[in-house]
A and B are shown apart, each in its own frame.
Chain A
Amino acid sequence: MRGPARLAALALVLVPAVVMADRWHFEPPIEVTSVAGGQVFHHLESSGRRNVAVSGGVVAVAWEDDRDGTPRVYLARKGLDDDAFADEQRVSGAGEAYEPSLVALGAGRFALAWEEDGQVHARVVDGPRLGPVFRAANADSVQASLAAAGGTLLLVAAERDGRFPRIHAHRLAVGPDLALTAAEHCPVDGVAPRDEQLYPAAIVLAGRVVVAWEDRRPGHTIIMAASSPAGAVCQFAPAQRISQRDGSGNGMGRNMPYGKGHGVSRVALAAFGSSSAFAAWADKRNFREGYDIWGAPWTAADGFGANERVQDDFGGVAQQWHATAAGHPDGTLVVAWDDERDGSPSVVMSWREDGTWSDDVVLPGAGGPGEQANPSIVLDADGNLHTAWVEREVTGGPTRLRYAFGRARD
């Protein structure tokens, strides 16, 4: 390990015990599913990284694995006070299913969306009851992501529209038999795509909808976003670039003879406070250091603001991937990601305090030897932090699906 990396690793080891105690007290991680080992590989990879949710007194984790040789979507639940997950259910049908997105609908109910045989599917789960499957009208639709708040359930996905995938939004209504129907459906960006639009994420906040996605219109990947006014899901304002809004490149950017600009990857969105949100993504603007975690705040009044680097200075020499974000109405905002600064991937997190990002800390139980990666996080109504991630002892080895509960400290 090089000198700076060694120093960074040391700093990372030293910081957590002090800082973590201030905000959440984490219980030891537990398994989400006992099905592991051999040729079983779990994936937490939904667009927007929504794979854990809390509804009423129930926490659920949704993932994909291929335990029977075919990729399928599964859901496991447990009561908040239970010691272990149970009630594992297969949610997807007979086809190849990928990338489940999970949100809470309240009172112990959840909604899931996933891709199955190249088409977005969704359904409601209420205890052992599985609602009928909703299929997006577009048979070529992928990368589903769900958002729900205040009685609004929103599904966003990349749907083939001519030559390119285009981000579409569906406002879904839940019937008394748990059936989902599309109450509204529209493209998020009113301008037809000139290149691919991919991997959307969304939030619903006080009736407003904010959607962000990867967009390749300038010849490299940028993050774009659009929002709609309260109560009018399909009246999106014109889409705006939110990553490096001035369009400035770095190094081999737009002013150089080669290439179009740096890369960004996989945006996540979280609502926090009464009227704010934050978009986080992996960003290669400091291209010699690989991806860093950057983001942009959003307010209902001003839209998206200037970009902020979420990770601390010690992360600069290492790679960061897989940003996930969670927020709370009390103003708490947390971003987590996996980070290789200690030599192998660990789940690292930072939260906003008084407008600045905390030091990066390793999620207790999600660091050390082996790989802990692909996190998904959510805050419950009491501000407790629920986290899930994929763990493996060796690169390429079988995976385990892990969960940890962080009780909020007063």
Chain B
Amino acid sequence: MLRVVVLALLLSLAAALQADAPASYPFLSFDEAMAQAAEDGRPVFVYFGRYGCGYCEKTNKEAFSDAQVRERYVQNYVLAYVDAESGRRLRLPSGERTTERELGTRYDAFVTPVFSFLTPDGEVLHRMVGVQRIEDLMDADRKLQALRAGKGAR
């Protein structure tokens, strides 16, 4: 029994190591995230990665590992992860059926990682390409929150 538990733990660890979304963040699929954003009004933070992406791994380890980043992003955004090489199907709010790969094409995820902040309607508010540091993510969050506050004040 113990052997089975250990094996299961090792398998889950292996899966986590190969996954390009940072562990411990509640990333959703894109369509799930858009649906949730439509309900609660938060912007969507989309992480375009790919399998084996080195710069994704670097950003995960060096920036998303920060507790403050995690707190800000989990609180302020609906999080979506898109594997820009995956054929996983999804349906956009417009009703169009597409795949994660084609979504990457549409949002110009020609390199990975690309991080896009979207309105619940899919409009791009801000975009960051490549490796991000803790301060980059925190700065982007401040800008997005200021933008939201400005819109709310009008």
Q: Which single residue of chain A is at the shortest CB-CB distance from B106?
A: A395
Do B55 and A258 touch (CB < 8 A)? yes
How many whole Å from B9's CB to the nearest CB in chain A?
16
CA–CA, A287 to B106, complex, Å?
18
Which chain A residues in 52-97 approach chain B with CB under 8 Å? 66, 71
A145 CB within 8 Å of chain B: no
Q: Which stretch (B34-42, B65-73, B93-101, B145-153) binds chain A?
A: B93-101
The stretch of B23-31, B107-115, B133-141 that contacts the partner chain: B107-115
Given contacts A41-B96, A265-B85, contact A253 B54 (CB under 8 A): yes
A284–B53 alpha-carbon span in the complex (Å): 11
Q: Give the distance in Å from the alpha carbon of A216 to the alpha carbon of B50 in the complex.
A: 11
Once the chains are docked, how many angstroms separate the CA of A45 from the CA of B99?
10
Chain A positions within 8 Å of B56 at CB level:
259
- Closest chain-A Cβ to B81's Cβ sits at a distance in Å of 16
B18 lies within 8 A of chain A by Cβ: yes
Report the separation of the CA atoms of residues A288 and B97 in the bound assembly, to the nearest whole angstrom. Answer: 29
Q: Closest approach, in angstroms, between the C-beta of A264 and any C-beta of chain B? A: 8
Which residues 83-129 of B sit at the A interface, judged by CB distance below 8 A?
84-85, 87, 89, 92, 94-99, 101-102, 105-106, 108, 110-112, 122
Number of interface residues of A (CB under 8 A): 36
Residue A21, interface by CB 8 Å = no
Chain B residues near A219 (CB-CB < 8 A): 18, 51-52
State whether B51 touches A216 (Cβ < 8 A): yes
Measured CB to CB, the nearest residue on chain B to A322 is: B105
Q: CB-CB contacts of A95-115 with B at 8 A, as 1s and 0s? A: 000100000000000000000
| Distance from B130 Cβ to chain A, minimum over Cβ atoms (Å) | 9
A259 to B53, Cβ gap below 8 A?
yes
* Contact indicator per residue, chain A 274-315, by CB within 8 Å of chain B (1) or not (0): 000000000010011111000000000000000000000000
A71 and B91 alpha carbons, distance in the complex (Å) = 11
> B-side interface residues toward A, CB under 8 Å?
18, 50-58, 61, 84-85, 87, 89, 92, 94-99, 101-102, 105-106, 108, 110-112, 122
Residues of chain A touching chain B, judged by Cβ–Cβ distance below 8 Å, are 39, 41, 43, 45, 66, 71, 98, 143, 198-199, 216, 218-221, 251-253, 256-261, 263, 265, 284, 287-291, 319, 321, 395-396
Closest A-B pairs by Cβ, 5 of them: A259-B54, A220-B52, A290-B110, A252-B54, A260-B52
